[in-house]
């Protein structure tokens, strides 16, 4: 009889790309749950609407590129992109905002460069930055968290999404905005005089960050990605914040804890900068990549002009990733310099 | 107890070792005929010393070693040589190679052989020639002639002999079984090899997933005296790779492009140690080995003692083979073994395992997806390479970057492909890229050589032209010099004078007549 000829290895680990993507989606659930608790069903609706749109766009793009949509849609990668983008968008965003973001992310961020695995930039962040630059007003209207404003119900959420003109929600400046605009108040006074500040950072935001941290730690435990980039980013962000803390004066940039638990910090550390395609590829490279994102994140937050800095920090470092790779190649077996070489 | 060092990377696939019931040796029986390839080792094929129609006894020499890096081949049983022609051999390319077909007469009559009485008093050279004469080649997989490896003693100072009983590939239990049934033979073989190499230290390495083998080895080492050190370490693939094992046991890395002997280390397989012992103590040539027959397509998997040259189809019948859809027949283990096209090929000195899995057991890989640069491969690589980058450059055929990323240090263990969530056959890309680089290097050598030849020719032609011109110039100079020295003695005037004189004398003669 004739036997099937396949090259070695003949076995395979049980993990495949679709499962990696599914694990990432699963790990966003705690964060999404907390976002929904504090800000209402807006984020959930964003994710569902964005996901359907993204799948449709991906299928069209694959067909136009002569690929097999049946097969490639099953890798779940486009759902990861759309979910991450929609988590970052303000809840109760109008449909056209989400659609523009998804279109930019999937087409401009991914397929223009050749699809999965070939994108030099993080697609979700491409979508986010396009929106932030084009629609700054809509992008900075964050719903007030539970306890500080009324949380919209499902009907209102649907109205906000599809008939934005007739929706009127309660929005509030986020703690990061408030801190940047602070003029003259000591940090303690700012925290006690402004209702948006909670125990360590912003009301709601601190729990959102803790939830994304939990999801991220689970992914590291599952071996989906390594700890290098997230840890490096959190360390440098903390260090920068410690340097800029200025004992909580009116000029203070905020405490390390405030920065760790504000805005998109944990979401970014575990779900955005860990994107393997657009990040650095060796573990040493990931340390450098994460550390630089942390520094940039702090600088843009404190000295920049945008509500949050993650997307810019990530895109700038995406540019640098191949350069980082060039200089962080691990020492191959048998290439360690020996004592004789040193002499 | 010596310290154990950690190596980078590695994976933990399902071991599946119990499937072949390590520790028991079954008899594979005598097939109707044996097929003996003349090249079962690395180096030049053996050169025949029998002809079709010859009757041979078991243990009789069939082919001699041809040159230094070669081994002889002996008859594994008695019978008649019926054919000497190219036949399919176990090789990834499914190629044919010169084989000798021996029709067994079933009587299994053997020649008489005898070994050294006490190897301790023999010189290393005598012992090496015993091992060489017995046709021993590395039985772990590569099949390098053992005698040649032992000659490292003449070139480099050696300190350590490692017996590599790691057997880290899933499924394979041939060495495990040998360590359980003949630990004393392995220890004695190791002592003989150490004696030849002139080394003091013997390390017997066993992975910690083989407690029975470890126990047997420890007992045997103790019984035979103190110079053997049995070492164990956590199970991880590919700890049994020679370079990896050396790092685990010594913390040192074999320099790139170098050999373990550069660190004063020689590695041998337990099966090779026993074969060396048999050669030295009994004069017995290497004519059989233990082969693990395993996989869920077999009703009776196990470790079988089989004669070299036994066709795999015979072994499959013995082990109760039940073929299924997409059936694969793998020579070696699931990580580094290669798929065979036909079961007509024989087992050879390096065959440690024949694996016949079912489709459920080792599914046919799905089509590869895009690389998402997740880096799991780099985490798994025992050589600390960046497989994701190598993949990129292999596809781009970028030789410069491939060399900068040390493609040559890839040991093709398959750990990267095993973990790749996109099912990319990474190792296959590296094999192809290595082939491409090798080819272009050969091409470069060839073109360099023809350029050198061309330049040499040009130079020679130029030299000859110059020499001719120099000669001409010298002649002219000499003539001019002569003319100058003669002064009035102008050659033209002289010639005219001579002609005139001749004419005058001619007219005189005519006048006289």
Q: pLDDT tens digits for B244-292?
A: 999 999 999 999 988 999 999 999 999 999 999 999 999 999 999 999 9
Distance from CA of B112 to the nearest CA of A (A): 40
Interface of A with B in 161-200 (CB under 8 A): none
Interface contact A13-B13, CB threshold 8 A: yes
H/E segment holding residue B304: strand B302-307
CA angle centred on A296, ends A293 and A298, rounded to 5°: 110
Chain A residue with Cα closest to B257:
A334
User: Does residue B287 contact residue B184 with C-beta atoms inside 8 Å?
Assistant: no
Interface contact A1-B323, CB threshold 8 A: yes
pTM of the model: 0.84
Cβ-based contacts of A8 with chain B (< 8 Å) = 330, 332, 334-339, 414, 417, 427
| Residue B335: inside a domain | no
Which among B352, B376, B389, B345 has a CA at the least distance from the CA of B164? Answer: B352
Distance from CA of B426 to the nearest CA of A (A): 10
| Residue B133: inside a domain | yes
Measured N-to-C along each axis, helices A228-244 and A283-303 cross at an angle, to the nearest 10 degrees, of 30
Pairing of strands B55-56, B47-48: unpaired
Question: How far is it between the farthest Cα atoms of chain A?
Answer: 86
The tokens of A322 are what? 């191949």
Distance from CA of A46 to the nearest CA of B (A): 26
Interface contact B425-A7, CB threshold 8 A: yes
Is A284 in CB contact (< 8 Å) with chain B? no
Which among B225, B255, B224, B254 has a CA at the least distance from the CA of B242? Answer: B254
Regions in chain A scoring below 50 on pLDDT: 341-343
Q: How many other CB atoms are there within 10 angstroms of residue B51's CB atom?
A: 8
Of B255, B330, B386, the CB nearest to A330: B386
Cβ-based contacts of A2 with chain B (< 8 Å) = 341-342
Task: Write the Ramachandran bin of B143: left for phi over 0, alpha for psi from -120 to 50, otherwise beta.
Answer: left
Interface contact B342-A2, CB threshold 8 A: yes
Cβ-based contacts of B418 with chain A (< 8 Å) = 9, 11-13
| Residue B194: inside a domain | yes
Distance from CA of A326 to the nearest CA of B (A): 10
Of B357, B362, B419, the CB nearest to A13: B419
Give the sign of the dihedral formed by CA A124, CA A126, CA A129, CA A131: negative
Cβ-based contacts of A334 with chain B (< 8 Å) = 243, 253-258, 383, 409
Interface contact A10-B335, CB threshold 8 A: yes
**Whether the predicted pLDDT of B513 surpasses 70:** no
Q: What's the confidence (pLDDT) of residue B509?
A: 56
Interface contact A9-B384, CB threshold 8 A: no
Q: What's the confidence (pLDDT) of residue B511?
A: 54
Which of A10, A23, A61, A224 is the best residue to mutate to test the B interface, defined by the most B CB atoms within 10 Å of its own CB? A10
Is A13 in CB contact (< 8 Å) with chain B? yes
Q: What's the confidence (pLDDT) of residue A332?
A: 92
Is A98 in CB contact (< 8 Å) with chain B? no
B356 CB-side CA count, 13 A: 26
| Residue B366: inside a domain | no
User: Does residue A21 contact residue B427 with C-beta atoms inside 8 Å?
Assistant: no
Q: What's the confidence (pLDDT) of residue A343?
A: 39
Q: What's the confidence (pLDDT) of residue B226?
A: 65
Which of B375, B420, B432 is the best residue to mutate to test the A interface, defined by the most A CB atoms within 10 Å of its own CB? B375
Model pLDDT for residues B466-509, shown as the tens digit of each residue: 999 999 999 999 988 887 876 556 667 777 878 888 887 766 65
Q: How many other CB atoms are there within 10 angstroms of residue B125's CB atom?
A: 11
Cβ-based contacts of A123 with chain B (< 8 Å) = none
Chain pair A-B, CB pairs under 8 angstroms? 170
**DSSP reduced 3-state for B116:** coil
Distance from CA of B407 to the nearest CA of A (A): 10
What's B69's domain CATH number? 3.40.50.11540
Cβ-based contacts of A324 with chain B (< 8 Å) = none
Is A115 in CB contact (< 8 Å) with chain B? yes
Distance from CA of B133 to the nearest CA of A (A): 34
Q: How many other CB atoms are there within 10 angstroms of residue B14's CB atom?
A: 11
Q: What's the confidence (pLDDT) of residue A6?
A: 85
Is A86 in CB contact (< 8 Å) with chain B? no
Distance from CA of A115 to the nearest CA of B (A): 9
| Residue B508: inside a domain | no
Interface contact B328-A330, CB threshold 8 A: no
| Residue B450: inside a domain | no
| Residue B243: inside a domain | yes
In chain A, where are the structural domains located?
14-172, 173-321
Least confident residue range of B73-77, B131-135, B369-373: B369-373
Distance from CA of A280 to the nearest CA of B (A): 9
Return the C-alpha torsion angle B92, B94, B95, B97, nearest 10. 90
Q: What's the confidence (pLDDT) of residue A177?
A: 78
Model pLDDT for residues B402-413, shown as the tens digit of each residue: 999 999 999 999
Least confident residue range of A323-327, B34-38, B194-198, B226-230: B226-230
Interface contact B256-A335, CB threshold 8 A: yes
Is A118 in CB contact (< 8 Å) with chain B? yes
Interface contact A277-B372, CB threshold 8 A: yes
Of A4, A17, A331, the CB nearest to B339: A4
Interface contact A10-B337, CB threshold 8 A: yes
Of B13, B332, B386, the CB nearest to A329: B386
- Strand order through the sheet with B61-64: B47-48, B61-64, B73-74
Which among B237, B268, B231 has a CA at the least distance from the CA of B251? Answer: B231
Number of domains in chain B: 1
- Give the pLDDT mean for B179-199: 93
Chain B residue with Cα closest to A18:
B421
| Residue B325: inside a domain | no
Q: How many other CB atoms are there within 10 angstroms of residue B83's CB atom?
A: 13
Interface contact A20-B374, CB threshold 8 A: yes
Chain A residue with Cα closest to B411:
A333
Is A3 in CB contact (< 8 Å) with chain B? yes
Distance from CA of B364 to the nearest CA of A (A): 8
Distance from CA of A246 to the nearest CA of B (A): 40
Which of B260, B329, B370, B422 is the best residue to mutate to test the A interface, defined by the most A CB atoms within 10 Å of its own CB? B370
Distance from CA of A70 to the nearest CA of B (A): 13
């Amino acid at each position: 009889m004739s036997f099937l000829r396949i090259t070695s290895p003949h076995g395979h680990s049980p993990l495949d790309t679709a499962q990696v993507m599914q694990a990432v989606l699963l790990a966003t659930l705690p964060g999404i749950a907390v976002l929904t608790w504090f800000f209402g069903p807006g984020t959930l609706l964003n994710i569902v609407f964005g996901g359907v749109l993204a799948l449709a766009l991906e299928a069209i793009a694959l067909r136009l590129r002569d690929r097999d949509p049946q097969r490639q849609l099953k890798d779940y990668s486009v759902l990861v992109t759309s979910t991450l983008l929609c988590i970052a968008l303000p809840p109760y965003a109008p449909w056209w905002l989400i659609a523009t973001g998804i279109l930019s992310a999937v087409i401009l961020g991914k397929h223009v460069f050749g699809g999965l695995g070939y994108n030099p930039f993080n697609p979700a962040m491409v979508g986010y930055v396009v929106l932030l630059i084009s629609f700054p007003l809509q992008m900075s209207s964050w719903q007030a968290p539970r306890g500080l404003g009324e949380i919209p119900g499902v009907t209102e959420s649907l109205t906000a999404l599809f008939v934005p003109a007739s929706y009127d929600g309660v929005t509030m400046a986020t703690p990061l905005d408030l801190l940047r605009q602070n003029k003259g108040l000591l940090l303690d006074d700012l925290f006690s005089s402004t209702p948006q500040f909670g125990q360590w950072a912003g009301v709601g935001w601190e729990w959102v960050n803790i939830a994304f941290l939990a999801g991220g730690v689970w992914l590291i435990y599952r071996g989906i990605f390594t700890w290098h980039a997230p840890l490096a980013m959190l360390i440098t962000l903390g260090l920068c914040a410690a340097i800029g803390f200025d004992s909580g004066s009116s000029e203070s940039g905020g405490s390390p804890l405030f920065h760790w638990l504000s805005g998109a910090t944990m979401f970014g550390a575990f779900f955005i900068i860990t994107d393997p395609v657009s990040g650095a590829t060796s573990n040493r490279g990931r340390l450098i990549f994460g550390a630089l994102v942390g520094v940039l994140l702090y600088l843009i937050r404190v000295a920049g002009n945008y509500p949050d800095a993650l997307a810019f920090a990530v895109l700038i470092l995406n540019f640098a990733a191949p350069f980082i790779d060039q200089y962080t190649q691990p020492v191959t077996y048998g290439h360690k310099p020996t004592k004789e070489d040193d002499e | 107890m010596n310290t154990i060092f950690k190596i980078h990377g590695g994976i933990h696939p399902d071991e599946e070792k119990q499937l072949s019931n390590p520790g028991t040796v079954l008899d594979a029986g005598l097939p109707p005929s044996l097929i003996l390839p003349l090249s079962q080792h690395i180096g030049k094929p053996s050169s025949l010393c029998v002809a079709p129609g010859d009757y041979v006894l078991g243990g009789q020499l069939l082919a001699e070693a041809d040159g230094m890096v070669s081994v002889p081949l002996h008859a594994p049983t008695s019978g008649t040589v019926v054919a000497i022609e190219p036949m399919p051999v176990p090789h990834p390319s499914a190629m044919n190679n010169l084989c000798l077909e021996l029709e067994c007469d079933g009587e299994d009559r053997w020649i008489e052989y005898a070994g050294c009485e006490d190897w301790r008093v023999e010189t290393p050279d005598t012992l090496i020639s015993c091992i060489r004469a017995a046709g021993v080649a590395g039985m772990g997989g590569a099949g390098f002639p053992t005698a040649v490896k032992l000659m490292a003693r003449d070139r480099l100072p050696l300190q350590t002999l490692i017996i590599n009983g790691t057997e880290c590939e899933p499924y394979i239990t041939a060495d495990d079984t040998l360590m359980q049934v003949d630990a004393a033979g392995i220890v004695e073989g190791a002592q003989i090899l150490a004696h030849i190499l002139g080394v003091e230290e013997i390390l017997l390495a066993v992975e910690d997933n083989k407690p029975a083998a470890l126990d047997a080895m420890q007992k045997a080492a103790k019984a035979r005296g103190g110079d053997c050190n049995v070492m164990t370490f956590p199970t991880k693939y590919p700890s049994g790779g020679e370079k990896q094992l050396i790092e685990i046991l010594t913390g040192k890395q074999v320099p790139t492009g170098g050999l373990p002997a550069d660190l004063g280390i020689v590695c041998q397989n337990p099966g090779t140690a026993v074969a060396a012992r048999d050669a030295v103590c009994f004069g017995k040539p290497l004519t059989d080995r233990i082969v693990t027959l395993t996989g869920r397509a077999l009703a009776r998997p196990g470790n079988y003692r089989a004669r070299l040259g036994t066709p795999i189809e015979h072994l499959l019948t013995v082990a109760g083979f039940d073929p299924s859809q997409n059936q694969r027949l793998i020579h070696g283990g699931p990580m580094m073994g290669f798929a065979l096209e036909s079961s007509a090929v024989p087992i050879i000195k390096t065959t440690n395992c024949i694996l016949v899995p079912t489709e459920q057991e080792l599914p046919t890989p799905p089509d590869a997806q895009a690389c998402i640069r997740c880096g799991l491969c780099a985490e798994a690589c025992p050589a600390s390479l960046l497989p994701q980058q190598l993949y990129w450059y292999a596809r781009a055929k970028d030789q410069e970057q491939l060399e900068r990323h040390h493609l040559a240090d890839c040991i093709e263990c398959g750990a990267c492909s095993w973990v790749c969530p996109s099912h990319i056959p990474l190792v296959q890309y590296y094999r192809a890229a290595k082939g491409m680089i090798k080819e272009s290097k050969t091409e470069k050598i060839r073109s360099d050589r023809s350029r050198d030849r061309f330049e040499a020719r040009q130079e020679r032609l130029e030299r000859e032209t110059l020499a001719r011109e120099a000669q001409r110039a010298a002649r002219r100079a000499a003539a001019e010099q002569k003319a100058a020295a003669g002064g009035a003695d102008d050659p033209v005037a002289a010639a005219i004078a001579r002609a005139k004189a001749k004419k005058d004398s001619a007219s005189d003669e005519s006048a006289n007549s």
